[in-house]
């Protein structure tokens, strides 16, 4: 079984509070994009969970530190099955980019193993298991344009969402999510994100009604840590982006363009400076059988 695990972008990211246990309360609008990893699943001997990783940035762990392995083990514990699996993960989504690569890979594993092992777990059950592994996983299981609140457990579907060309750039090394949130706490940054207005613009599909910078509460501190983030956003605008900002906690940024030709021209220009520059588009699902 082969599955495409799609990356995501944050149209917005607002921090609304912090729980006593340290978890941040968020209000985000997210959508999948066509940049994807590929996860292949094959039945194995009972009790065996093995992962091979092809590609990716640096050394990607293949043991219990990897969300794909943790998803498989969590599914076995929850369902009580003793079946095994051999998994191969082909990485194309940059690591430490704020594009949800690890979360999407884990979501694809939960969906695929639910089918491969014939567990018949419901969507709600899969999302509950996923939330214990990572805040973005329930969204990656659900897909579509979605408002995500709380610690990732409150999902409000907003339809399939618009399909627009994107240029995605990672202009610097990946950022640690924990380090970015720590910097945000120290910075006393405040940002007003007009989430309802943003949702209205996305639902109409009118690109010109989309705010040029929808709002990401973490972008200012991430720019301070890696100034290339701000430089990439500025260059996306200079090359015709209607909207551009950082995704998640960084370090990737994206620009939205009126047509694919304009996006390709911008990618060619930015690609001369940063090798991790690509053209893709927004889409409706977070995973799909290949």
| Positions marked catalytic | 8, 136
Contact 94, 252 (CB under 8 A): yes
Sequence-distant (≥ 6) Cβ neighbours of residue 185 within 8 angstroms? none
101: tokens are 């690569």
CA distance 97 to 95: 5
- Total residue length of the chain: 290
9 - beta bridge partners?
A: 31
Cα dihedral 206/212/214/215 (nearest 10)? 180
For β-strands 49-55 and 84-91, DSSP reports them as parallel
Q: State the alpha helices, DSSP H only, in the chain.
A: 67-79, 101-116, 123-133, 137-142, 177-187, 195-204, 219-225, 228-238, 260-271
Tell me the C-alpha distance between 250 and 198, whole Å: 20
């Amino acid at each position: 079984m082969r599955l495409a695990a799609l990356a995501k972008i944050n149209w917005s990211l607002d921090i609304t509070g912090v729980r006593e246990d340290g978890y941040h309360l968020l209000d985000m609008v997210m959508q999948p994009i066509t940049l994807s990893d590929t996860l292949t699943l094959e039945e194995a001997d009972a009790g065996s969970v093995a992962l091979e990783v092809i590609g990716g940035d640096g050394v990607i762990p293949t043991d219990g530190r990897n969300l794909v392995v943790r998803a498989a083990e969590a599914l076995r514990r929850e369902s009580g099955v003793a079946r095994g699996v051999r998994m191969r993960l082909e990485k194309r989504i940059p690591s430490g980019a704020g594009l949800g690569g690890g979360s999407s890979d884990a979501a694809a594993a939960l969906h695929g193993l639910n089918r491969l092992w014939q567990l018949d777990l419901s969507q709600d059950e899969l999302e509950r298991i996923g939330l214990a592994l990572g805040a973005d996983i329930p969204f990656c299981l659900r897909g579509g344009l979605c408002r995500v609140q709380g610690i990732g457990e409150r999902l409000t579907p907003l339809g399939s969402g618009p399909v627009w060309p994107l240029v995605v750039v990672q202009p610097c090394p990946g950022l640690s999510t924990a380090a970015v949130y720590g910097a945000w706490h120290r910075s006393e940054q405040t940002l007003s994100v007009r989430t309802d207005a943003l949702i209205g613009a996305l639902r109409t599909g009118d690109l010109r009604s989309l705010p040029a910078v929808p709002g990401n509460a973490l972008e200012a501190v991430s720019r301070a840590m890696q100034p290339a983030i701000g430089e990439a956003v500025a260059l996306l605008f200079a090359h015709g982006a209607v909207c551009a900002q950082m995704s998640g906690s960084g370090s990737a940024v994206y620009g939205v363009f009126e047509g694919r030709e304009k996006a390709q021209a911008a990618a060619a220009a930015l690609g001369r400076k940063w090798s991790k520059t690509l053209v893709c588009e927004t889409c409706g699902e977070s995973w799909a059988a290949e």
